[in-house]
Amino acid sequence: MGQADLSGKAYNGPIKLDTKTGGPKRQMSIRKKYPTDFKAKVVLEILKEEKSVSQLSSEYGIHPSILNRWRNMVIEKLPSFFTDEQKNLENIKAQYEKQIQDLYAEVGRLTTELTWLKKKSGL
């Protein structure tokens, strides 16, 4: 059996000190990264409300606050899916096409000038 120190906690060996801070070393927790399709699946289950967030949390091993954050993000961005994005894309595409036409016109003009200058200089 381990010895108990004055604070009532079991003795787990000497405490290793961090050389930078001088305090006890703490292990860094590794942040999990979940694929977007997995997040979407879980949020859809949350929105169906067939199971509670705590049930889904224990089922998938994800903290409930993270699941709530994912749900809130989806709910916050949901109205943007119904905006007229097609018109925005068409406007961007039209601007892009006009820019390309202007650049081709500039290349043609500069090519013509270069040819004329070469002809006049005798090269």
Q: Average pLDDT of each block of 10 consecutive residues along the chain (123 residues)?
A: 53 68 68 90 94 93 93 88 76 94 96 93 79
Q: Is the dihedral of CA 35, 36, 41, 47 positive or negative?
A: positive
Rounded Cα distance, 86 and 69, in Å: 29
Residue type at position 4: A
Query: What is the predicted pLDDT for the residue at 27?
Result: 65
- The encoded tokens of residue 85 equal 């994005």
Q: Print burial letters for 71-81: b (CB count within 10 Å at least 16), e (below 16).
A: beeeeeeeeee
Cβ atoms of 56 and 42 closer than 8 Å: yes
Contact residues for 11 (Cβ-Cβ < 8 A; gap 6+): 2, 3, 4, 5
Query: What is the predicted pLDDT for the residue at 68?
Result: 94
Rounded Cα distance, 32 and 47, in Å: 23
Query: What is the predicted pLDDT for the residue at 31?
Result: 81
Torsions phi, psi for 17 (to 5 deg): -100, 145
Cβ atoms of 35 and 26 closer than 8 Å: no
Query: What is the predicted pLDDT for the residue at 79?
Result: 80
